[in-house]
Structure 1
């Protein structure tokens, strides 16, 4: 099957190398939306699967379209315990004087920033009443200036005419840059991937790589937590903590970076430079795949953002509201921009590894949630169709995962290579529980 997104993704990855085997798709599902969300789920996961098959020499690849849509949502089913809430109580959409605005307050410092601007208590009713006295763009600007995360809702045509919308539309889906050369053998087994990503796209990419043998080491600062998604995004990874404002931790980080084959990060433009790592001089031959929220050019290139905020900014939530004739914003049924960007990042890592194997050239890639949003919109808009997907017993893995919070069963992964699904040797668990070193170093010691 060919989706409207397949040709664009194939072109973005490049035509310089032979494609992997055709992916045998089966099953069907359609998440409820006026956008082709399930098609985006299938296309992005298929791209990563096909690249993995090409790199590893797999001769047959399969993809369950129904499970692909399911893996764009929560995949873990606890046994005797409950998953943490996905959202902070203050996070959400609020009616301003002239329209809607979304506040993203899952991180404590983002919540503090929003409340400092509003000057009210952390109570939903008070926030609602205070926001109603603001103009949406003025509040958005104030929260962002205070170090928070917020997005006023735009219509699709408004975003298309917005300076940032125009900038994003001019960017490639995957922005490739040749950054060096290095002859080195390529194998997924033991490939060292340094993961400096947060919610949600980057961790999805590195989770996929870990399932096929990569050694993924995730690094978080001491103050960061994301309890709502840790059961999803920590699967297969060792998780360490470092404070890059401390000289000893910086030395440890630089040592890890020198030994990494791939760096995956979600730092906004200029953020690495502010940390003192501009120009990536430590490892000139390393593959680097990075993402940001609002694109790499334009006036908002440095703006912090998340999937739900980008949906508000770029017109997706507004179009959902219009199509459903709803009284409030209607986002996508899943955080599809995050997940799709994550699988495209994984595909980019794999394509870069294949290029290094073929020619010794090192390519790095940049992606953004907003550009993936443009990809989704390009697939067309229709009346709302589809329905929520009911999980059956057959959709669950038979294996019990001993997570850091308790036993659980995870949904079966949608893809197989030569009949085998990915295998994650490390169960999901809390952040910062491992030593900041490569597992192969521990084994050697």
Structure 2
């Protein structure tokens, strides 16, 4: 019969014949090695190389988030354009907001800007990408939250310029100032879902004339590294007492501060991972109780490692406060550490309980290992001479020993003995007369049948 090229051996036969295995696909003999029913096989090395390439592609794709980030349009440009179009004048922009919950305080770095014709210094235009905005052309004193002393005394004469071009050099410390505000932290315990609210008022005074200058706009940045800030301002008035009460214009700003969405997501993810690790310690105790044959030392080391990992994960939470009893720690960190510690203590008690109670001074008796040949000699059935049976009566053969749980050599010995007995019975049956052979055969058959 000619060989069939499409014939395939079973799986165990293919493995035993030592055939070539490409990936996880076995090719038939009659087909090409390049493909199998449209499926191209891959070597394990090729799979590893493809995985590495995909990993590098993912890393490069994530790194592209930094490309062009500095070239984005300024956040304040639409605000300044609106001021130039609707109400030109003095604008204060909070270009940096530092929220310190532990202090607790909020620090804002303000920039003094003049927008519109005649309100900015020549040669300083183009701030934040707006050609109609620059540093103010008049000296100003800025007062914050009704303070008696000015937070900054701005004077445009201090700004230098380039002699060849006449362009003003913008020195940040000459037109920027800082203001500190007290922060209400009654929701700090709800981290990372804590929200804060701040209100402040500012007014500007012309240093040369002493007149109050209306502030047309107050705004701050929207996103910092730790907080998301929503600002809104409103025109207001304040009474100034200097011999007589005078109502002067001012500007109020409201800041609503909360955690960014990604910071909340990462914090909750770490919170859930810590609880999973704490549950793993409970599983280690349960497995140690149900499986006493596995060494307890490995389980104890894993619990000890989790005790060290949980505090580190807690500290990696974005802008996480100290261990001051916030809600996240009350339902997370503290119960997790208690649970892991109790699991470690239980495993230590189980380890002590399973230690041998024999005194260490008396050495244990070590028995020499029993060889398979010696064990077989002890359990093997000795060959006994067999006497010929009478002509009409047959004595039953000696019953074999029970072989359950015996070594393999004992089973072989018993098998040889039974084979030898059957051969002797066959030879003895051949010499019995025909008339008596059936009776003898019936007797032996009755004996061997169960």
Q: TM-score, normalised by structure 1?
A: 0.18
Q: TM-score, normalised by structure 2?
A: 0.18
Higher relative contact order (CA 8 A, sep 6+): 1
